[in-house]
Amino acid sequence: MNIALKRWLPHMVAIACLLVLLYPLVWLLATSLKPADEVLTSLDLWPSSLEWSNYTTALDGVSGVSVARLLGNSLLVAVGSVVGNVLSCSLAAYAFARLRFRMRGVLFGFMVATLMLPHHVVLIPQYIIFNQLGMVDSYWPLILPKFLATEAFFVFLIVQFMRGLPRELEESARIDGCGPFRVYWSITLPLTRPALITTAIFTFIWTWNDFFTQMIYLFSPERFTITLALRSFVDQSSTSAYGPMFAMSVISVLPILLFFLVFQRYLVQGVATTGLRA
Amino acid sequence: MSTAQRTAPAGADRTKHRKPPARRRPHRDQRWPASVFLSPWLIGVVALTLVPMAVSLYLSFTDYDLFSAPRWVGLRNYTDMLTEDPRFWRSVGTTVLYVVVAVPLKLGLALGVAMLLRSLVRGRAFYRSAFYAPSLLGASMSIALVWRALFNDGGSVTAVLDAVGLPADGWIGDPDLAVYVVVLLTVWQFGAPMVIFLAGLQQIPSTLYEAAAIDGAGRWRQFVSITVPMLSPVVFFNLVLEIINSFQVFTPAFVISGGNGGPADSTLFYTLYLYERGFTASHMGYAAAMAWLLLLAVGALTLILFRTARSWVFYADEEGR
């Protein structure tokens, strides 16, 4: 009896914690299917009848822009950012991990220091720059910085990974006459795949969730992302729109949940080894 | 580590008298490839970090609305902020309260759950992933909207609080309690530091615990004398990261405050006020000054943490030296 209790008690505690933790997610799903009059009057978690019309209303989108368009915009920004981060961060990482050049230590230290820089210090001048370039209210301010390796976290992550790779393959490729770009592209990059996948997934999720930058740079409703569309619900105090609002919320977190289910191993490993956050 | 050893000999520079020409070449050749590989990052650092930092420092001494030229006002933004702006102090107070309450709660819970999972033989990977999920979702607009609804007047958490006799007019509308909704949303995302703690706990050799148990050390004693010191570098790492991130919290604050820091400025977080001054009220100079104060504050805090670290962070590999 005592032994059985000792064995099961941690599981019971863990499951209890998990239920509390997952409650908001279940609530989100349930509320997205509730009829309007049940949202606040009934405290039953599950709706009495499933109100699928919340979803059809949600699909119409916000200010005449359909959810399909909003999702497409979010996807465009996220995929652009992923490509930018994977390319630019792996290039910089290869230099730091494999090439010898003057000031390497200084530059690497500087790169690590930028990890701690609060984004707000560069925010306003960056806005002025993009405003001068006529890029405000376009996706350039959101995607272009990713092609310039501004997210030092990923440079750091890939450097750490490349340092752990054996050099023999690269050396024999060099002896066979491969230049540094060929070595990077054909040998090192394929070996770095796990770190690149981690970079890609985190970039996707961060960009998908990002609100601040998108709010500052995008004005036209037809360029809105799904996050910006949801923002229009924030200042509403009425609860009449709860059903469609949470239906749209479910649609917007679905890609993240999918990514999580498919790539959870990479995500958890990435966090455990480098301390990345989401 | 092996990288350092392999690059260290650098035969090209030291052994001049019998240098093998084939080894000298790669070193020379690597200068221009390095500059090509590094150029995106270098351009980014200069154009999007260093220059903007200098510009925002300059702007912090000016009056600037984005349309007319900046007008030099000296230290006035800073003196106004520190002496004549009660909303600035309100935002500092809210943010500090939030950091002081949320960070220890989040890290405490993360450590507790990590130790719980460490003790499990089966199912550890499943729980680890499941507990981590909120960390991915927590920064999203959708989840912030959920929390706003749950803690609103008539929301289901409010109903539960009512049932157990706690204040239940909806925390969202209560100036004393609204900030704790943001705190709870932050604590809900304890999964990321938990994963890091768990990785740290798994590094502690079990022989240490076995030896302590033979010497008669109880659970608590083992925790204080083995787990705490062995884990202190991980605790330190989590603490620094969590504090830096917490000062910059925005999306949950924006949503839970209804976009304006309400009720009665009780959720006017520092970043929210910075955004309001700079982008809603077009006082870019003032916002730049706020940004630089934030940088100085976070920098000073990090420095203090690193200083105190010497007295409480224990690095096992340094023992023999």
Contact A101 B237 (CB under 8 A): no
In a domain, A25, yes or no: no
- Give the model confidence (pLDDT) of B286-308 as tens digits: 999 999 999 999 999 999 999 99
- Give the model confidence (pLDDT) of B265-275 as tens digits: 889 999 999 99
Domain count, chain A: 1
Indicate the pLDDT class of residue B155, thresholds 50, 70 and 90.
confident
Question: ω before B263 within 30° of 0 (cis)?
Answer: yes
Both tokens of A70, joined, read 């909003």
pLDDT number for residue B276: 94
Both tokens of A77, joined, read 């920004």
Both tokens of B155, joined, read 């929301």
Reduce the secondary structure of A138-200 to three states and give it as a string. CCHHHHHHHHHCCCHHHHHHHHHHHHCCCCHHHHHHHHCCCCHHHHHHHHHHHHCHHHHHHHH
Site from B49, B61, B67 to mutate, A interface, most A CB atoms within 10 angstroms: B49
Q: Is B221 helix (H, G, I), strand (E, B) or coil?
A: helix
CATH number of the structural domain spanning residue A265: 1.10.3720.10
CA A74 – CA A231 distance, rounded (Å): 14
Q: Look-up: residue for tokens 């501004």?
A: A150
CA B235 – CA B247 distance, rounded (Å): 18
Contact list in A for residue B248 (CB cut-off 8 A) is 118-120
Contact B6 A167 (CB under 8 A): yes
In a domain, A49, yes or no: no
- Give the model confidence (pLDDT) of B94-103 as tens digits: 999 999 999 9
B110 touches chain A (CB under 8 A): no
Supply the ipTM of this predicted assembly. Answer: 0.90
Nearest 5°: the CA angle A153, A210, A141 is: 80
Instruction: State the average pLDDT over residues A59-76.
Output: 89
Q: Tell me, rounded to whole angstroms, the distance of Cα B138 from its chain centroid.
A: 14
Contact list in B for residue A149 (CB cut-off 8 A) is 40-41, 44
In a domain, A75, yes or no: yes
In a domain, A74, yes or no: yes
Chain-wide mean pLDDT for chain A?
Answer: 88
Q: Which amino acid is at B87?
A: R
**Which range of residues forms the domain containing residue A223?**
66-274
Q: Which residues contact residue A261 at a Cβ distance below 8 angstroms, ignoring those fewer than 6 apart?
A: none
The residue ranges of DSSP E strands in B182-289, in sequence order, are none
Phi and psi, residue B70, nearest 5°: -60, 140
B274 touches chain A (CB under 8 A): yes
Q: For residue B289, give the nearest of B76, B92, B46, B85 by alpha carbon.
A: B76
Query: Which helix or strand (DSSP H or E) is residue B72 part of?
Result: strand B71-72
Q: For residue B192, give the nearest of B115, B109, B254 by alpha carbon.
A: B109
pLDDT number for residue B311: 85
Q: For residue B146, give the nearest of B158, B159, B135, B155 by alpha carbon.
A: B155
In a domain, A86, yes or no: yes
Q: In percent, how much of chain A has pLDDT > 90? A: 51
In a domain, A3, yes or no: no
- Give the model confidence (pLDDT) of A102-127 as tens digits: 889 999 999 988 988 898 999 999 99
Indicate the pLDDT class of residue B29, thresholds 50, 70 and 90.
low
CA A113 – CA B127 distance, rounded (Å): 34
Nearest-Cα distance to chain B for A138, in Å, is 17
Residue B21 predicted with pLDDT over 90: no
- Give the model confidence (pLDDT) of A198-209 as tens digits: 899 999 999 999
Nearest to A230 among B53, B127, B141 (CB): B141
- Give the model confidence (pLDDT) of A157-175 as tens digits: 899 889 988 888 888 988 9
Site from A74, A119, A140, A148 to mutate, B interface, most B CB atoms within 10 angstroms: A148
Helices (H) and strands (E) in chain B, counts: 18, 2
Beta bridge partners of A65: A62
Q: For residue B51, give the nearest of A29, A122, A151 by alpha carbon.
A: A122
In a domain, A46, yes or no: no
Contact B135 A239 (CB under 8 A): no
Chain-wide mean pLDDT for chain B?
Answer: 85
Domains recognised in chain B with CATH numbers: 20-59 (no CATH), 79-314 (1.10.3720.10)
pLDDT number for residue B50: 95
Contact A36, A243 (CB under 8 A): yes
Nearest to B258 among A155, A184, A234 (CB): A234
In a domain, A30, yes or no: no
Phi and psi, residue A7, nearest 5°: -75, -35
Q: For residue B184, give the nearest of B249, B118, B124, B115 by alpha carbon.
A: B249
